[in-house]
Structure 1
Amino acid sequence: LYNDAVAMTGGQQVGERPEGHSVVQIAQSMRAEGAVKITIVTDEPEKYDGVKGLPEGISIQHRDLLDAVQREFREIKGTTVIIYDQTCATEKRRRRKRGTLVDPARRVVINELVCEGCGDCGVQSNCLSVEPLETEFGRKRTINQSSCNKDYSCVKGFCPSFITVEGGQLRKKDKKGAAQDWTGGALPVPVLPVLGSEAWGVIVAGVGGTGVITIGQLLGVAAHLEGKGIVTQDAAGLAQKGGATWSHVLIGAQQDDIRTTRVSAASADLILGCDPIVSANKETWARLRAGRTHVALNVSATPTAAFVKNPDWQNPAQACVDALVNNLGAESVGAFDAETAATRLMGDSLYTNPMMLGYAWQKGWLPLELASLMRAIELNAVQVDKNKAAFEWGRRAAHNPQAVATLWQKAGAGEQVIQFKKRESLDDLIARRVEFLTGYQNSAYAAEYQQFVARVRVAEAPLGKTTLSEAVVRNLFKLMAYKDEYEVARLHSDPAFHARLASQFEGDFKLKVHLAPPLIAKKNERGELVKQPFGPFMFTAFKWLARFKGLRGTALDIFGRTEERRTERALIGEYRADVEALLAQLAATNLDLAVEIARIPEHIKGFGHVKERNLAAARTRREGLLTQWRQPAGLSVLAKAA
């Protein structure tokens, strides 16, 4: 694996070091040591055009063919070598910021209404910038534009929800306008801690690649400028995998007051919690002491690597916040959504950490002067004005959190098509879906849905519950609103979606959509359809195609003849029959099992081969639960206990 940079020591380029090996040198060494076959796999095969020094017979392949190369190599006797050449994504981001690497004017966005939440984009890319988005219609995916490394492998996920924005740029946030709208009043100068004979222990806890170590260094420089004693020690995590990262900072009135290189157990005076999961990690937890430790906490957590493997992963951020409050007391924990504030007010979540620094300082939890902290930011010489502004927003959040929240809510107005509400009545859930299905097909189709769920509500009413009704409301809708070609066209041509894009991007840009139309798409070696990009003309075609939704399911529906579409229509009838069977025997003793059966469609996610795979698993689950349902009550209880 050749990522062209030395990790954790400054990102030096390997090939430029005298003792370092370039890819060409590695290939020469491998050939000299007897490798029978060598292939270079890379995301940029074109960079090897005309390269001199490669041993004869070495093949250059695109990374998309890595699986095929491995399958070929496993059949070859002898030592074979695959050299995977791809520049470290973190280094790419740094070099782009420094202007030493071209920053492609191309970004990826997801139309969350089209997204099925299957997670195939995360599987294909293994990227944590593909984040969960909770919506009224379930968990979807969104791209974190602040952390996106522009690798674009997420687009390979078998899903038509991906749009690439070619040209233009992210729309700049009007931070000056937001500052002018500030109504929270003048900021008082806090009473700062006075250092005694014991060092002041600070732990900056966050996620690799977000600037945790930088915050530790800013604190060190500021303390040095004031003539104080200072020791910092960093524990760096994996930047691309959301690895936990800590920076231990010890500040003393003089250098001799510092006797360790890390904050000792139960000795932290301040936890600068840039991520709640890392802040509640056992490594951080061991440094806490009630009555001594204060925590300045960003309540928005970065999804961990577990989300890539498990699409249903639940973010434990709130549990982490609650645990810290229970341990230290509410008065010792200052928490606010710094990531949302940074994104909405500064235009980039990477300003979360300096915002947290300003928050902690305004709370009076840092023994450093404002002037020295500002000078440290200046000496760092990276986005000085923006980092100072983020620090100021953090101060404002500490002084008047409601005023800051009002401004970021105003700044984020219209950013999402779907406004997720945690608490809605059953009538609201039904009304929203009836409205959607009317647009999906027509009022008669929506009425059919409404009448069926009404029957379920009547049957469940004697039990005094609505859990089964809610399950049917959500899952029958999911099946009836299956995303065929007409629906994908309707959602991609929705004016609300294009208004959101216009609010997110500016400049001269064009849109491309990535699709695998079953009637014309090519297939890979596994027999799976392969997506290809379609230019702006496709959005005009979408507008026309959406108008023909009335053909859905009729003899004139050319798209409805595929196996996938026939299966989707059959699932609606199958689900209704299952629910009818549940209602015939519904009782308080089997309600929970009935709800489980009614929720089976939640597991049928995705498109094409991804959906087919998930459907097979859902059918197996359905058969098992229905078998349990048909058992006599006594046997069912025994089976469940077993």
Structure 2
Amino acid sequence: MEDRFIQESGTNVYTGCELLVKGALEGQVNLLTGYPGSPLAEVFDVMKANAALLKEHGILAQIGNNEALSVARLNGSQMANLRAAAFMKNVGMHVASDALAISNLAGTTGGAVVVVGDDTWGSSTQVPADSRFLARHLYTPVIEPSTFQEMKDWLSAAFEISARSNLYVTYIVTLTQAEGGGSVELRPNCYPETSTKNQTVIDTALINGSNRIILPPDTPRIEIETLTERFPTAVKSAREHNLNQIYHLNDMEHEIGFIASGLGYSYLEHALYELEFQERIPILKLGLTHPVDEEIVREFASHVREIYVVEEKRPLLEKDIKAIVGRFYQNGEMDRLVQVWGKEFPDDLEGIPDSLGLNPTILIQHLIPLLRHKFGSKDKSIKIDPEVLVREEQHLEQVKAHQVDIPARTPTFCPGCPHRDSASVFKEIADQFMDPKYMKQHHARSPVDLVFHGDIGCYSMLKYEPFPRLMHNLSAMALGGGAGAGIDPFIMNKQIVFMGDSTFFHGGMSAISDSIKNGQDLTYVILDNQTTGMTGHQPTPSTEDDILGNPTFAQDIEKVVEGLAGDADLFIIRTNPENRVEYKKLVEETVLKPGVKILIADKECGITYHRRLRRDHQQTIKERGFLSVEKHINITPEVCEFCLECTNATGCPGLKIAETDYGPKIGIDQSNCVSDGACARIKWACPSFEEVTITRKRPPRQQVDLGVMSADSAELPPPPPRTFDQTWSVHAAGVGGMGIGTISKVLVLAGQAQGYHVKFFDKKGLAIRNGGVYTNLIYSKVAVELSPIIPYGKADLLIGMDMLEAVRGLDAKAGFCVASTNRTAAIVNTAKTDTVTTLIGQDDFKVTDLENWLQRYTDADAYFGVDVFEISERHLGNKLYANMMLLGVAFQRGHLPLELENIQSALKLAVRPADLETNQRAFDMGRRLAVDPDAFATAQQQQTYKTLLREKCDSLARKRRGGTLAHEYEVLVQQTVEKLELDDETNRSFALYVYDLIQFENLEYARLYVEKVKRIHSKDVSEMGYRATKAAIKYLHKVMLIKDEVYVAHLLTSETKLRRDKELYNVIEASGDKIKYLHLNRPRFTIMGRDLQWDMNTRNWQLNLMKRMRFLRRLLSQWHKLEKVFRDWYIAEVIDTFAPHDRESYEDHVSAIEIPEEVRGYREVRYPKMENARTKVEELLRNT
């Protein structure tokens, strides 16, 4: 239980979802229910966090199986004098509409409120929706709070309006309000008399069936009663609660006036504030937007010549105002017709957009020409400062001119997500089922084009790369099977529907029943991860407790399906999708069976599993001081071919692109990877994956003394808090999991302690699915009506935990454009976080380009960039603490209007006690970085040609009779380098490649490579920068270095690799640390014309034997024959034919030499690429 939720007075800060719960508590609520969906899913987390408080006072909190059942709970609650609220997202209201239509007209007693979260910008909702329309259709009054204070306070009013009007109230908030928050004044909670601890008895004799049961012939009567009695009562009650108010009105007649509601009102006030026009134009703020209080509209209209309606999305309120004003004028109750504008403005001025949402900047852009047009002349009663309008206009033109070209960051499954296991297998199967050869060999039938029906849940991520093949349509939640029913009788395709466990109970049971009844040929893959993963891990009917922690009956999906099947011949199986080989075989067999099939993929959500594992690890560290055993997935970059099969098969953000001596390779993001092995199970693709086990006898060493570092930082004099006139704002951007929410929380709490009025907006959306996230936060010294959205170019500070998302904050096309050169300081993490499309090779971006854009469009003198991920991971063991490091940088450089004491106090409240010390250290390290960017720099320098040559000579010398070999290697390289006369980087690569070929075969094999390079160089020209020679050095090495099982065994056990891994995992053998490997291999040998391959997880001792078996290359003549043929062809047809006679032939031949760049991967992955390469080379060299 949080103290903030029992606070009775004063002020504090809350998120929008927290305010809804606090408002319900202050409003004497009895029942809290609903179904989790963005943007209101956090409401249920707040209930869970305050379970003790709710249970203490007998307040019931329950998640319904779907939104309709939640509204039905409201209906039941109104049989007694109870106050009840149901929470759902806008499309959830669609699901609830039938129940709401009946329940609403059946009436209320204590009061029933349906809180709906609208997503006006469509950032996390599948369809555009405006709940105002549906609420009106259902005859419910509509309340739209504008401010965070109203979000809390008006829930009490909503209950009372509902009770008095005998109608349910639809309470609409938007994503910006729900995921935002701010400072509010508080009242005591009002706990209910009737509760689960103090039950009452319904006197059924008092129930009026004619009113409670909506059936003809009572339906017409109730409709008339609603329009003539209930709606007027709702208006009267809203008037008594001051939900509709007129601001800034005086006795004079005004040129114009605004009518606004919801967040549109805050945007309007914010826009007028920026234009220095606040409190000078009358505004009617409507809190009750349906039915509209016609009397207050008439009063307002009598003081203005024109009305401008500000509302998000379509012109609903505008049409009401036009009708009301027109009717008053028509009936003679007004002496003039007041013009009403909104989505259209007079005199060819552009009106307010009718699609998507609004923000302060959109209104500023439309208000500037309107204000200039209406108040620009000297004889107007309200004077306008034209310089302000010009200033703002020029400012907008400047920031809207920001041009950046960056890729989108699409969401994907989290690391460790069980859905990835299924998706990866189905992606492979979908391709193989279209292969006639595969289908004939494995299933003795013709190819099958699989059709996949989409649904709502974590598996909606199948729309995005690398799995778009697995979603062909999208129906409403739980209706994928219904879509299949509509096409099944007309097609021969096999069909698959993905369904989550929450979706199964939401409505999926009915869909399965429908499929069984109608004999569909369809496979349901029920992804049972034991939680409502998409919305934040709320319990489901299959879990053993409810949202308050009460024990409940856990319903078994398999048994429910068996009950639906009855005596039908229904194939039902539960299996763990992690066992890839067995799972793939089972899936293929299941999909090809006739009829309805149910495959339950049973594996816990990766987030809940690994959170629990981390807690266990933290407890062990607390008790013992360290973990005695650690397990990691590792990739050996020398073995990786950068074929991208692993990334295309999984799309896992635990993988990353790493730059190496051999170019880009796939590596492991040690902070993101959860070592579930999903990537490693693609064994047919690559032998570079391995499981690493570290055992320790004592705590691992620290590379720097963090205690001393913290002490040093403590000695740094804190800068004076940054000063500002009226407001200060920060935009922080990153990727889900980088701690943007924690940055926001620290700054919110510190700002509150500093005495500021705080407003913020944390855009979460698909945060836990590796989507982009950001926060807007605004401090003001005095209470002023502002929205939580930063107007274009008005951010004082840009904190970029991710460079790409930081630059997105500059982009006018993305709707942010928060920075300007004369105002915004940028503090950014320069580490590159790949997008999924970058990981699979579809696009890429350069950090240097991102830095250039940041410095171009912010205050370049204030720019500070540093790779805090590398520092945090190296010194603190995980890059999760980099957010506090960057915040420390921002503080010490004087960009925060906060005192150190308030930040430190906020940090204690914002992070878990187990992580507090490390976060404090990270903040201190950031302060140190601010004054000394090299404070944590490594001593390593870029290795030169000479240092590498010496290192490789020493390595060869350590071999048996290696002294002579080392000398001959050194002479061979030095003599060739002297002849080539190339740059140091190329010389270094050449020396490395010669060494590799010696290790692969022998010195003579390396000499062949050298001679071929020298031949190219002899015909190359300096005018072309010796591009052909440089290409030959790189690609001839790649072709000659055939990564057979012998050489791969060498790479996996080389001393260079072992040394690198020990440094990476902080293994100190002198301290008793040990490192062990389990190499995840699938070797293949061709013996007597037969290919033999099998799974073989090997240890280092086995590979140490294998790497000494070079004789196998001669003994097994057919082994890797295709790679050898390609090598010989490349040397003969590409290298040996180099003799350009003009620039065009030179360019063509260089392109031919570079063709092995496209030949990547092992065996079946590589062979088609070799054929394509030969075809391209023949085309390139045809005329040379």
Q: Is this a same-fold pair by TM over 0.5?
A: yes
Q: Distance in 1 between matches of 2:740 and 2:903?
A: 16
Aligned to 2:966: none
Check 1:500–1:428 CA distance in 2 against 1; reply closer, same or farther (3 A cut): closer
Pairing of 1:65-144 with structure 2 (within 5 A): 84-99=601-616, 105-144=630-669
**Partner secondary structure for residue 716 of structure 2:** coil
Match of 1:268 in 2: 795
8 A Cα contact 1:232 1:250, kept in partner: yes
| Aligned residue number for residue 514 of structure 1 | 1080
CA contact (8 A) 2:576 2:601 kept: no
Aligned to 2:1010: 450
Residue of structure 1 equivalent to 2:746 = 218
Choose which of 1098, 1121, 1134 in structure 2 pairs with 1:566.
1121
2:678 corresponds to which of 108, 129, 153: 153
Greater RCO, CA 8 A, separation 6+: 1
Aligned to 2:1100: 539
Per mean C-alpha deviation after superposition, the further-off stretch among 330-339 and 575-584 is 575-584
SS of the aligned residue for 2:759 comes to strand
Change (3 A) 1:394 1:239: same
Aligned to 2:918: 386
**Residue aligning to 1:325:** 855
* Distance verdict in 2 for CA 1:86–1:233, change over 3 Å: farther
Answer yes or no: is the 8 Å Cα contact 1:241–1:305 preserved in 2. Answer: no
Deviations 1:30-50 (A, max 9, x none): 554443565546699xx99x9
The answer as to 2:732 corresponding to 1:191 is no
In structure 1, C-alpha distance between the alignment counterparts of 2:660 and 2:666, rounded to whole Å: 10
| Partner in structure 2 of residue 629 of structure 1 | 1181
1:414 corresponding residue in structure 2:
none
Q: 2:638 and 2:528 mapped to 1: Cα distance?
A: 34
Corresponding position: 1:279 with 2:809: no
- Alignment partners' CA distance in 2, 1:234 and 1:181: 32
Aligned twin of 1:499: 1059
Tell me which of 838, 851, 866 is aligned to 1:307.
838
1:339-370 Cα deviation digits (max 9, x unpaired): 11111222211111111111111111111111
Superposition pairs of residues 456-467 of structure 1, within 5 angstroms: 456-461=1016-1021, 463-467=1023-1027
Report the secondary structure of 2:1057's partner residue: helix
Q: Which stretch has the larger CA shift, 321-330 or 282-291?
A: 282-291
- The aligned runs of 1:344-383 (5 Å cut-off) are 344-382=874-912, 383=915
Please list the CA deviations of residues 42-92 of structure 1 after superposition, one character each: whole Å capped at 9, or x if unmatched. Answer: 699xx99x9973433521133236666665566566665555554443444
Which stretches in structure 2 are left out of the alignment for 5+ residues?
Answer: 1-34, 49-60, 67-500, 531-542, 544-553, 563-570, 621-628, 942-947, 952-982, 1068-1072
| Contact 1:39-1:59 at 8 Å conserved across structures | no
Quote how far apart the aligned CAs of 1:336 are.
1.2
For residue 449 of structure 1, report the CA deviation from its aligned partner.
Answer: 0.6
- 2:559 alignment partner AA: G
Q: What secondary structure, in the 3-state scheme, does the structure 1 residue paired with 2:679 have?
A: helix
The aligned runs of 1:334-349 (5 Å cut-off) are 334-349=864-879
Picking from 53, 64, 71, the partner of 1:19 is 64
Distance 2:765 2:781 in 1: 30
- How many positions carry a matched residue from both structures? 597
- Is 1:243 matched up with 2:768? no
Could you give the per-residue CA deviations for residues 223-252 of structure 1, whole angstroms, max 9, x where no partner exists?
A: 112221111111114345531110111112
Overall identity of the aligned pairs, in %: 23
Aligned residue identity for 2:1032: V
Please report the RMSD computed on the Cα atoms of aligned residues, expressed in angstroms.
3.8
Q: 1:177 aligns with which of 705, 710, 717?
A: 705
- Distance in 1 between residues matched to 2:45 and 2:1086, nearest whole Å: 46
How far apart in 2 are the matches of 1:582 and 1:237?
Answer: 57
1:277 Cα shift?
A: 0.4
Could you tell me which amino acid in structure 1 is paired with residue 573 of structure 2? S
Q: CA deviation at 1:195?
A: 3.1
User: Cα gap change, 1:441/1:339 in structure 2, threshold over 3 Å: closer, same or farther?
Assistant: same
Residues 1:166 and 1:317: Cα distance change in structure 2 (over 3 Å): same
8 Å CA contact 2:574–2:599 kept in 1: the answer is: no
Aligned equivalent of 2:574: 60
* 1:337 aligned partner, one-letter code: D
**Larger CA Rg, structure 1 vs 2:** 2
Counterpart residue identity of residue 194, structure 1: T
**Structure 1 gaps, min length 5:** 411-416, 522-526, 633-642
Deviation at 1:177? Answer: 2.0
Shift of 1:201: 0.9
**Alpha-carbon distance in structure 1 between the residues aligned to 2:46 and 2:525:** 22
Structure 1 residue 97 displacement after superposition? 3.0
Q: Does the 8 A contact of 1:194 with 1:367 survive in 2?
A: yes
Whether the 8 Å contact between 1:203 and 1:248 is mirrored in structure 2 is yes
Partner of 2:826: 295
CA distance in 2, matches of 1:404, 1:131: 23
Range that drifts further, 143-152 or 90-99: 90-99
Superposed displacement of residue 115, structure 1: 1.2
**Cα drift, residue 629 of structure 1:** 3.1
Q: Which of these residues, 927, 932, 951, is aligned with residue 395 of structure 1?
A: 927
Residue type of the partner of 1:542? L
- The residue number in structure 2 matching 1:636 is none
Cα distance between partner residues in 1 of 2:735 and 2:588: 36
CA contact (8 A) 1:125 1:153 kept: yes
Q: Residue 92 and residue 230 in structure 1: after superposition, are their counterparts in 2 closer, same or farther (change >3 A)?
A: farther
Q: Deviations over 1:506-531 (max 9, x none)?
A: 5566421111121499xxxxx99664
- Structure 1 residues 463 and 117: CA distance shift in structure 2, 3 A: same
Query: Which secondary structure does the structure 2 equivalent of 1:368 belong to?
Result: coil
Q: SS in structure 2 opposite 1:454?
A: helix
CA gap of 1:17–1:459, structure 2 versus 1, over 3 A, is farther
Moved more, 466-475 or 149-158: 149-158
Identify if the C-alpha distance between structure 1 residues 307 and 172 changes in structure 2 by more than 3 Å, giving closer, same or farther.
farther
Indicate the SS of the match to 2:798: strand
* C-alpha contact 1:5 1:91 (8 A) present in aligned 2: no
CA distance in 1, matches of 2:924, 2:1074: 33
Deviation at 1:405, TM superposition (A): 2.2
What do residues 366-420 of structure 1 show as CA deviations (whole Å, max 9, x unaligned)? Answer: 111111111111112421011111111111111011233247x69xxxxxx999x
Name the amino acid aligned to 2:793: A
Q: Deviations over 1:169-210 (max 9, x none)?
A: 89856165256479988523223211322x211011101122
Change (3 A) 1:93 1:315: farther
2:993 to 412, 430, 433: 433
Assess if the C-alpha contact under 8 Å between 1:453 and 1:473 holds in 2: yes
Name 1:590's counterpart in structure 2. Answer: 1145
- Normalised by the length of structure 1, the TM-score is 0.83
* 2-structure distance, mates of 1:7, 1:428: 54
1:624 aligned counterpart, secondary structure: helix
* Equivalent residue, structure 2, for 1:638: none
Change in Cα spacing, 1:179 to 1:461, as seen in structure 2 (3 Å) is farther
CA shift for structure 1 position 142: 1.1
The question of 1:578 aligning with 2:1130 is answered no
User: Residue 263 of structure 1: SS of its match in structure 2?
Assistant: coil
Residues of 2 paired with 1:13 and 1:270: CA distance? 30
